[in-house]
Amino acid sequence: MLLLNYVDGALSLIGLQSRYNLLDRSLEFVLQPACAELDVGILLWGVTAESFLTGKYTRKSAVVALNWVQQNCSTIGARAAAQLEENLKSLEFKMSPEQMKQLDEVSKPTEIPFPYSILSLR
């Protein structure tokens, strides 16, 4: 989803909403660098991989996954007050550079994701 702003007859791109988590880092290939270059904000969704990284399986995984996203992009959200309260626990600690490096290494894409793979972009 694109977020647009209309001021004085001019339409401008101000934000992009995209999926991003430890299991899907395809945003890093083209969209994140382009948004940084164009000064466009990114709002994330799917940061817990559709509940795979939530307390449904282990509470600690959800908090760590949200913390990783927060340290990389700093935007998390919630659909309900209870979910927001749970998500805010990810801000109660900061992972060390070594811990962040370990998570980056194990979650790093091993191949170029679709659609970039068919376009041969990196």
Residue 6's domain spans which residues? 2-109
How high is the pLDDT of residue 8?
86
In a domain, 120, yes or no: no
In a domain, 115, yes or no: no
Rounded-to-integer distance, Cα 97 and Cα 88, Å: 21
Question: Is the pLDDT higher at 85 or at 58?
Answer: 85
Work out the average pLDDT over 80-92.
82
Q: Check: CB of residue 53 under 8 Å from CB of residue 46.
A: no
How high is the pLDDT of residue 122?
47
CATH number of the structural domain spanning residue 54: 3.20.20.100
* Backbone φ/ψ region at 20: left (φ over 0), alpha (ψ -120 to 50), beta: beta
pLDDT in tens, 63-80: 777 878 777 776 666 778
Q: Side-chain half-sphere of 94: how many Cα atoms within 13 Å?
A: 5
